[in-house]
Amino acid sequence: MAEKRNKIKKLKAVDFFCCAGGVTNGFVKAGIKVLGGIDIEAAYKETYEKNNKGAKFIQADIAKLSPRSLHKKLGIKKNMDDLIFVGCSPCQYYSNIQTDKTKSKKGRLLLEDFKRFVAYYNPGYIFIENVPGLDTKESSPLARFKNFLSRKGYVFDEDVVNAAEYNVPQNRKRYVLLATRLHNSIAVPKGNPEKIKTVRKTISSLKVIPAGHRDRSDRKHWAGGLEEINLKRIQHTSKNGGTRLDWKDDPELQLKCYIGKDHTFSDVYGRMHWDLPAPTITTKFHSISNGRFGHPEQDRALSLREGALLQSFSPSYKFYCDSIAIIARMIGNAVPPELAKWIGKSFLKNYQNGAI
User: Among all residues, which ones are annotated catalytic?
Assistant: 91
Question: How far apart (Å, rounded) are the C-alpha atoms in residues 62 and 64?
Answer: 5
Collapsed DSSP state (helix, strand, coil) of residue 63: coil
Residue 271 pairs in a beta bridge with 294
Q: What are residue 184's phi and psi, to 5 degrees?
A: -80, -15
**Rounded Cα distance, 7 and 80, in Å:** 19
Say if residues 284 and 291 touch (Cβ distance below 8 Å). yes
Sheet holding 33-39, edge to edge: 56-59, 33-39, 12-16, 83-87, 125-130, 173-180, 155-162
Helix/strand/coil for 213: coil
Q: Which amino acid is at 260?
A: G
- Residue among 82, 92, 102, 95 nearest 33 (CA): 82
> Could you give the 3-state DSSP secondary structure of residue 12?
strand
Quick check: helix, strand or coil at residue 341?
helix
DSSP conformation letters of 80-102: -TTEEEEE----GGG-SS----G
- CB 49, CB 28: distance < 8 Å: no
Helix (H, G, I), strand (E, B) or coil at 166: helix
- Write the CA distances from 302 to 108, 149, 165, 295, 320, integer angstroms: 30, 41, 22, 6, 19
Residue pair 323/148 in contact (Cβ under 8 Å)? The answer is no
